[in-house]
Amino acid sequence: MTRLTIAYANHRPETLPLCQPLMEKHRRIILEEPPHPLFSKMIRGQVSTEDYLLDQDLEYPAFSQQQCRMLQRFFLDERELLQIEPFVEHLIEVQEFFAEGNGPADLDKSTIHYQVYLSEKEATRTLIDFYQAVRGDDFHQIIESVKNFAWADAKRFTLRDRLRAQAIIDNLGDEQPTCVEAGPMHLLLYQNLRTLVPPGWSLKPVFVEHLGLRQLGLTSGLYGPGDQLTVHCLFKRQIKAELANLLGARTLVFMKIVRKDEYSGQNGPFPHLRDEAQAAALVNQLSFEQCRQLFWKIRDQSEETATGLVREHISDTPAKPFP
**What angle, rounded to 10 degrees, do the helices at 303-316 and 288-298 form?**
140
Q: Looking at residue 221, what is its pLDDT?
A: 76
Q: Looking at residue 173, what is its pLDDT?
A: 83
Is the separation of the CB atoms in 197 and 6 below 8 Å? no
Question: Please, what is the Cα angle at 221 between 283 and 285, to 5 degrees?
Answer: 20
Say which amino acid occupies 156: R
Distance CA 216, CA 270 (A): 8
Is the separation of the CB atoms in 22 and 35 below 8 Å? no
User: How far is C-alpha 115 from the chain's CA centre?
Assistant: 21
Residue 127 burial (CB count, 10 A): 15
Q: Looking at residue 128, what is its pLDDT?
A: 98
Helix (H) or strand (E) run with residue 29 in it: strand 28-31
Distance CA 274, CA 146 (A): 24
Per-residue confidence in pLDDT tens, the chain, 323 aa: 999 999 999 999 999 999 999 999 999 999 999 999 999 999 999 999 999 999 888 878 889 999 999 999 999 999 999 999 999 999 999 999 999 999 999 999 999 999 999 999 999 999 999 999 999 999 999 999 999 999 999 999 999 999 999 999 999 988 899 999 999 999 999 999 999 999 999 999 999 999 999 999 987 778 999 999 999 999 988 889 999 999 999 999 999 999 888 776 567 889 999 999 999 999 999 999 999 999 999 999 999 999 999 999 998 765 454 43
pTM higher than 0.75? yes
Q: Can you give the three-state secondary structure of the chain, one letter per residue? A: CEEEEEEECCCCHHHHHHHHHHHCCCCEEEECCCCCCCHHHHHCCCCCHHHHHCCCCCCCHHHHHHHHHHHHHHHHCCCEEEECCHHHHHHHHHHHHHHCCCCHHHCCCCCHHHHHHHHHHHHHHHHHHHHHHCCCCCHHHHHHHHHHHHHHHHHHHHHHHHHHHHHHHHCCCCCCCEEEEECCCCHHHHHHHHHHCCCCEEEEEEECHHHHHHHCCCCCCCCCHHHHHHHHHHCCCCCCHHHHHHHHHHHHHHHHHCCCCCCCCCCCCCHHHHHHHHHHHHHCCCCHHHHHHHHHHHCCCCHHHHHHHHHHHHHHCCCCCCC
| Percent of the chain clearing pLDDT 90 (strictly above) | 87
222 by Cβ neighbours in 10 Å (0-12 / 13-18 / 19+) ranks as buried
